[in-house]
Amino acid sequence: MTDSVKSKEGASAGTPAEGSMFLYQKPEYLDRAAHEKLGWSMPKAPYAFAAKIISIPLVISEIPSAQKFYPIVFSGFDNGQPLAVFSTEQGKNPFVSDDGIWESGYYIPAYLRRYPFATVQGESDKVAVVIDRASDGILENSDLPFFEDGSISKAAQSMVDFSVQYERDRKTTQDFMQTVLELGLLSEQRVGQSINGENKNFANYISINGDKLDALSSDQLTSLHEKRYLGYIYGQLFSQENWTKLIARIPAL
């Protein structure tokens, strides 16, 4: 579950974005010549595109909010990233209703809220804007056009700014992941439950290990505190309490 889109300098009208992005079916570089008549309208089923996913990437600034609702795990040891877990059952996100609505009162991760926009870093600190041309919300003659008077509209710019901030947060997240990896805080874990006398394994995952955290030296803890990482570490640990709630959502258990 990684994005591997590359920025392409001088992209022509309607140029498909190179590489791939999770959930983006037809990523294209936003271009005035190709997309001048297009805009954004909220679809009737705004999160239908996420109805079958069981997890989504998080940036660490989201951990305090996401940990209240979902178990947070890590996708790997090397080049890993935080993930909010929605289900242990493939193909069904229980937080998205049949009519594509996210369950009321539950945190919606930024990766999903920024859709169908995304940004990728190009050369010389330039940022390329990407849209998923396959999105049901991208229409002609929309009330929120992408361009006005030859320039990007205020509505579109706000969505681009949100995505740019997300990419900045991803860089901080990468530093966080490198830090916890170097400190040896990550370990493989599992969640299971006894059902009718039979032990059932629901998930194998990577998490921060509380015992390894307790074993850190005072200098190491001070360094984590100065980087403001301790709160995110404890938030990830606290989120593990949500496994029970998640498993309770599985039908016929």
Give the tens place of pLDDT for each residue, 111-152: 999 999 998 876 667 788 999 999 999 999 888 999 999 899
Range(s) of the domain holding residue 121: 27-173
Predicted local confidence at residue 249, as pLDDT: 87
Q: Give the bridge partners for 191, in sequence order.
A: 203
What is residue 23's DSSP assignment? T
139 phi-psi bin (left φ>0, alpha ψ -120 to 50, beta other) = beta
Name the residue with higher pLDDT: 70 or 196: 70
**What pLDDT does 41 receive?**
93
φ/ψ of residue 187, rounded to 5: -150, 155
Structure confidence at residue 3 (pLDDT): 62
| Domain closes at, from 173, 205, 234 | 173
Q: Give the residue-averaged pLDDT of 54-68.
A: 97
Q: Is the pTM of this model over 0.85?
A: yes
Residue 9: pLDDT band (50, 70, 90) is: very low
Instruction: Let me know whether 131 and 61 are in one domain.
Output: yes
Q: What's the pLDDT tens digit per position in 168-177?
A: 999 999 999 9
191 and 108 inside one domain = no
Exposed (0-12), middle (13-18) or buried (19+): which is 100, by Cβ within 10 Å?
middle
Residue 2 falls inside a structural domain: no
Q: What is the pLDDT of residues 209-219, one digit of tens each?
A: 999 999 999 99
Is 196 in the same domain as 140?
no
Tell me what pLDDT residue 20 has.
79
19 lies in some domain:
no
Q: Are 241 and 122 in a shared domain? A: no
Domain termination residue (choose one: 125, 143, 173): 173
In a domain, 242, yes or no: yes
pLDDT of residue 201 exceeding 90, the answer is no
pLDDT band at 225 (very low <50, low <70, confident <90, very high): very high
| Total structural domains within the chain | 2
Of 17, 37, 27, the closest CA to residue 145 belongs to: 37
Judgement on whether residues 198 and 224 belong to the same structural domain of the protein: yes
253 part of a folded domain:
no
Cα 157 versus chain centre, distance: 20
Whether residue 70 is found in the same domain as residue 192: no
The last residue of one of the domains, among 173, 207, 235, is 173
Cα separation, 104 vs 200, whole angstroms: 30
**23-48 average pLDDT score:** 94
